[in-house]
Structure 1
Amino acid sequence: MLIKGLYEAHLPVSNLEKSIEFYKKLDLEIAYKQENLAFFWIEKGKSWLGLWETDKVQTPYHPSLRHVALRIDLEDLENIKESLEERGIAVSTNFGFPPEKQPLVLPNNPQAHAAIYFKDPDGNSIELISPLRIDFEEEFKMMTLEEWERRNG
């Protein structure tokens, strides 16, 4: 297969300048900008995120349309809540887990991932995610990362 990775993803925004300021809080670097579009490097030269100022931002949220997940190291994920809070970014309640119970562990059997969620100024869902186990058959329920670490020591 010739595919090497995912190069770009796109999200609708209502105010490009306001969104640029938000995504800069995530330490993302602008790669390209024009009147109604900005691209931020996720991994320079490998992947970027496009923000489009458009009325399509009125499309009701659904994870298939207005969601992006960004991979981070597990060590960084464990302490990310404090960093987000310092930057004025509130953690979202997801899957019934309030902010204080995140990061959470997603049982995508045979994979397991730890993740935390928040929203950009337009309500687009941003997920920070770290793989825990790949191709490992184990049935379990969704839990907090803290519970996962106690369980898997």
Structure 2
Amino acid sequence: MKGVNIAVAANNGRTPLHSASLNGHIEVVKLLLTTLGVETNRADNHGRTALFFASRFGYNNVVQALLAEGRIDPGIKDWYRSASLFAAVRNGHFEVVELFLAAGGTTIEGQDGFVWSLFWWARRTGNIRVLPSLRY
């Protein structure tokens, strides 16, 4: 990665880590996580982190790598007060929900900016498979 500025962000605030996570490029994510100076919790212009995008699109391996990295804060919320776990539940990514719960440090309580809970989102989107996991 010699000569590449990994801290540069596009006009939308997204960094290379955002882009790699958003597109499920696990090898690029792993490389960036080992690079000095990468900001793992940096949010784009909508307050969304690399973890949010990986969760939203169900990239289990990317979510797992980001959570295992140790510097990731799963509680960061976007402009709509949705954390990464909300993105996983809304989009029915059961395996991602399980990764969050296994990693700890994530609360299933609370509501997003629309005052809707994880339970509400699971029912609303028909992703009832995640409901038993959210009960504990």
Higher relative contact order (CA 8 A, sep 6+): 1
TM-score by structure 1 length?
0.25
TM-score (normalised: structure 2): 0.27
> Larger radius of gyration, structure 1 or 2?
1
Comparing both structures, which one devotes a greater share of its residues to strand?
A: 1
- 1 or 2, which has the higher helix percentage? 2
